[in-house]
Amino acid sequence: MVPLRRRSRPARIRLRLAFILRLAFIFAAISCVLYYAVTSHENVSNIASSTDCHSLALLDDGDGQVEVKDQTTRLRLEAERRWLAQNGYLYMQHSRKAGGTTLCMLLRHNSKGLVRTQATGWDAEKRRETCQIISLCSDCNYKTRNWYSAEKLPSILVEAMNNSGRNFIEMEGAGVPIDLLTNPGWDSFVFVSSIRHPIERIASALRANHKYHRNPDCPVGQLNCTKSYIQERHILEACSRGIYSCLSNYFVRMFSGRDTNVPSPSRVMLEEAKANFLRFSCVVLQEQWDETVGCLGILGMHLNVKGRFNVVGRMSAPLAPGNQKSNESYIEGFSSAEMGVLLRLNELDMEFYEWAKGFILRSTALRSRSVT
């Protein structure tokens, strides 16, 4: 009988590591499934095929290695790898009246770390709390500019950032790139944004419009003068003027990349918005800001750790002048009839928000457990 040949020590170590990696993956997958089962009403059999849980997007190939099976996840992870190696760029999609300015301030506070900038990198006055490159596009719908080309937009933004001495940009006034998942030019970009309850966002936007463009006969802080917008005709007119002032399915329009080109958003746009959302590395939930802003840690930003990346301070950035960020609800100011109009015209946005909120909170819980 031929004696069995004893494996070499390096081979035994590799086998043990592979076994440990497989056990770790199985544990993570089971934890994810159990978390879904107890926090939602989804059927567990449907959860395993979901891309919501990042752990389930990594499948063991049988040799102790992990392979990303989902193409969107693959693109996101590769972009994050480039960013952490300081070979990539960051695209911040500004959600109006949903914490966009505060998110921008977090990026500016990281400007001496992973977010590179030169002393002369800002072409906006110091008092203006913005991360936009003003000379390129200021609060504008860049998709209407004569220099716009969907195919060439990534290289246009890279050139603008390089000329400004930084590697991140904030875009406001238009939705995400229409070819976010198909244009190879976006492969070197990580994406961040924020969302908020759609009706709360509308109420805040109406208050802001009243504050900055108010009728002198209207007392500051009252919605009476702006409630005339809460009519189907006025809301659709506002949306036709641009994504910035849109009060109808704002998030679906923005994340689908179709903006105001479609008078009445469809469920096709809703699914496009969800697909693009999964390409984002970090989307902060306005209502639970301090809890969910930790997703910036994926990109190496840890504002709650003193000295990390030359940043001193808390995770929550200082408020912009005149800004009052709070969890105060504005919805109480609407009558039942006004709420009915807003909910009817934002049905897709409400569905998108609840779906995205669930994704964000599940990801936050998984990150918290992994750190623990």
pLDDT in tens, 197-228: 999 998 888 877 655 444 444 555 455 556 66
pLDDT in tens, 296-351: 888 988 665 444 333 333 334 443 333 444 445 667 778 888 899 999 999 999 99
Q: Of residues 331 and 278, which shows the higher confidence score? A: 278
| Distance in angstroms (rounded) separating the CA atoms of residues 103 and 96 | 11
Q: How far is CA 212 from CA 54, 65, 110, 209, in A?
A: 42, 56, 30, 5
pLDDT of residue 349: 98
With H, G, I as helix, E, B as strand and everything else as coil, classify residue 137: coil
Average of per-residue pLDDT across 42-64: 36
CA torsion 182→140→296→285, rounded to 10°?
-100
Q: How far is CA 145 from CA 141, 204, 208, 257, in A?
A: 7, 28, 26, 16
pLDDT of residue 232: 87
| Distance in angstroms (rounded) separating the CA atoms of residues 86 and 305 | 20
With H, G, I as helix, E, B as strand and everything else as coil, classify residue 109: helix
Q: Is the model's pLDDT at 26 over the cut of 50?
A: yes
| Distance in angstroms (rounded) separating the CA atoms of residues 273 and 239 | 17
| Distance in angstroms (rounded) separating the CA atoms of residues 338 and 353 | 20
Distance of CA 221 to the CA centre of its chain: 29
Q: How many CB atoms lie within 10 A of CB 162?
A: 11
Q: Of residues 13 and 172, which shows the higher confidence score? A: 172
| Distance in angstroms (rounded) separating the CA atoms of residues 361 and 295 | 11
pLDDT of residue 371: 56
Q: What is the percent of the chain where pLDDT is above 90?
A: 34
Helix axes 336-345, 232-241, angle to 10 degrees: 40
Q: Is the model's pLDDT at 359 over the cut of 60?
A: yes
Helix axes 347-371, 336-345, angle to 10 degrees: 80
Q: Which long-range contacts (CB under 8 A, 24 or more apart) does 97-100 make?
A: 97/196, 97/201, 97/204, 97/205, 97/208, 98/194, 98/195, 98/196, 98/201, 98/286, 99/194, 99/196, 99/284, 99/286, 99/289, 99/325, 100/170, 100/172, 100/193, 100/194
* pTM for the full predicted model: 0.75
Amino acid in the structure at residue 173: G
Q: Is the model's pLDDT at 41 over the cut of 60?
A: no
pLDDT in tens, 104-137: 877 877 765 555 555 444 555 554 567 888 788 8
Q: How far is CA 332 from CA 232, 247, 328, 335, 350, in A?
A: 20, 18, 10, 8, 17
